[in-house]
Amino acid sequence: MTSLAFRASITAALLLAVPALAQDGGFTPSNPECIAPAAAGGGWDFTCRQVGKTMQDLELVPGTVQVTNMAGGGGGVAYAEVVNKRNDSNDTFVAASTATTTRLAQGAYPGNTMDQVRWLGSVGADYGVIAVAADSEMETLPDLMDAIKSDPTSISIGGGSAVGGWDHLKVLIAADKAGIEDLRQIKYVAFDGGGEAVTQLLGGSLQAFTGDASEAKGFVDSGDIKVLAVLAPERLDGDFADFETAKEQGIDAVGANWRGFYAPGGISEEAYEYWVGAIEETYASEEWKQVMAQNGLAPLDLSGEEFNQFVADNIQEIQEISKEIGLIQ
C-alpha cells in the first residue's frame, strides 16, 4: 500500500468513526463549544464560526456549536483557561493558528507548553507572500535577498505584525533559507495592518512587503504590487497560480499561517477521536471547499498525530529564528 493510499484509508476510517461512535453509544458532545481566543472578527473568530456552522450543516454535532470569544494575551488567556480550568472538558475545542505557535515558541504563554493540550487538526492555511511595488526593478526573491546581502541598510521590509510577529518571521525564514547569516541586519518595519504596509511600499518608504496571500490579492489585482514569491510548498490554485513559490526559486521557505484547533489535554480518548474525525469530515466536505474558495484559504489537511508533529516542528523553527534575532534567550 502506498503512503498516499495508507493515508486515504486512515482518513476514511476517521470519517466512518464519527457516526459509528454515535451508533455504538460512544462519545457525542452534549454542549459543543468552540473558543475563539480573541474578540469577534479576525481569524480565530472566523475559524470557529465557519467550522462550527459547517459541522452543524453536515450534522456532525448535535444542535449548534456555541462560539465563545475569550480575548487577551494573544491567545494566552484562552490557553490558560483551557489548561487550568477546562482540562477535562470533552465538549470544548479551540481555534488556533501560526500566531498560537509563535506565542508558545517565544514563551508568551507563561508556564504553558504545547503538550498541555491535544492538537486536533488543520482546516487550511493562508500562505505568506513577499512582494514589491509594481515598478520595482526586482523580479525574483533571489533579487531581493541579493540586495539585502549587498547592502542591508538599503532594504526596508514592512508587514502588518509587530516585531517578532508572524509577518516578520516569514521574511526571516526566507532570508535564513537564502543563506543570510545575520538575520538581525534585516530591517523590518511594523504596521497595524497589511494595508498600511502596502501604502508605505507604494509611497517609497519600503522596498518590500511581507504578508499573506489573501491580504495581497486586492493589491495584485489593482496592479499596485507584484509578488516575488509565495511561501507555499507548491503553487497555489486560482488567482495565485502564476506566481512562483520560493522553493521554485531555490529558497526552500514555507510560511503558512495555518488554521486549526486544539482540545483540552485531559479529554477522553473517545472525545479526542470524535473531534479529529469531525474536523476531517468538515475539511473533506464540499461545503468547506466553498468556504475556502470564498476566503482565500489554501489546502492544509493534517490531523491527529500528523498535526501534532507539524505543530511541534513549527514551534521549533520559530524558536530557532526567535533566538537568532534576539527575541528570546
Q: How far apart are CA 102 and CA 258, in angstroms?
A: 12
40 to 49, 64, 68, 108, 283: CA distances (angstroms): 10, 18, 9, 22, 23
Q: Could you give the CA distance from residue 100 to residue 98 in angstroms, rounded to a whole number?
A: 5
Between the alpha carbon of residue 72 and those of residues 36, 75, 89, 109, 219, the distances in Å are 11, 6, 21, 11, 31
The Cα 85–Cα 125 span in angstroms is: 30
Give the pTM: 0.73
Residue among 36, 112, 94, 91 at smallest CA distance from 268 = 91
The reply to whether domains 3-125+256-324 and 127-249 share a CATH topology is yes
CA 187-191-197 angle, 5° bins: 80
Looking at residue 171, its pLDDT comes to 94
C-alpha 12/C-alpha 277 separation (Å) is 9
CATH topology of domain 127-249: D-Maltodextrin-Binding Protein; domain 2 (3.40.190)
Amino acid at 76: G
The beta strands (E) that lie in 145-248 are given as 156-159, 187-190, 208-212, 225-231
d(C-alpha 261, C-alpha 120), whole Å: 6
Q: Residue 311 and residue 96: Cα distance in Å, rounded?
A: 10
CATH architecture of 3-125+256-324: 3-Layer(aba) Sandwich (3.40)
With a CB cutoff of 8 Å and minimum separation 6, the contacts of 180 are 145, 148, 149, 186
Whether 70 and 76 have beta carbons less than 8 Å apart is answered as no
CB 225 within 8 A of CB 216: yes
Distance CA 217, CA 237 (A): 13
Domain ranges of the chain: 3-125+256-324, 127-249
Q: In this structure, what C-alpha cell is assigned to residue 5?
A: 493510499
∠ CA 299-304-306, nearest 5°, is 65
Helices assigned H by DSSP within 245-303: 269-284, 286-295
Contacts of 77 (CB under 8 A, 6+ apart): 37, 70, 71
- Whose CA is closest to 194, among 225, 172, 223, 173? 225
Can you give the pLDDT at residue 322?
Answer: 87
pLDDT at 225: 95
pLDDT of residue 23: 33
At 3 the pLDDT is: 33
Q: Look at residue 156 in the predicted model and tell me its pLDDT.
A: 98
Note down pLDDT in tens along the chain; length 329 residues: 433 332 333 333 333 333 333 434 489 999 999 999 988 877 889 899 999 999 999 999 999 999 999 988 889 999 999 999 999 999 999 999 998 999 899 998 989 999 999 999 999 998 999 999 999 999 999 999 999 999 999 999 998 877 888 889 999 999 999 999 999 999 999 887 788 889 999 999 999 999 888 778 889 889 999 999 999 988 887 778 889 999 999 999 998 889 999 999 999 999 999 999 999 999 999 999 998 887 778 889 999 999 999 999 999 989 998 888 778 88
Does residue 229 contact residue 207 with C-beta atoms inside 8 Å?
no
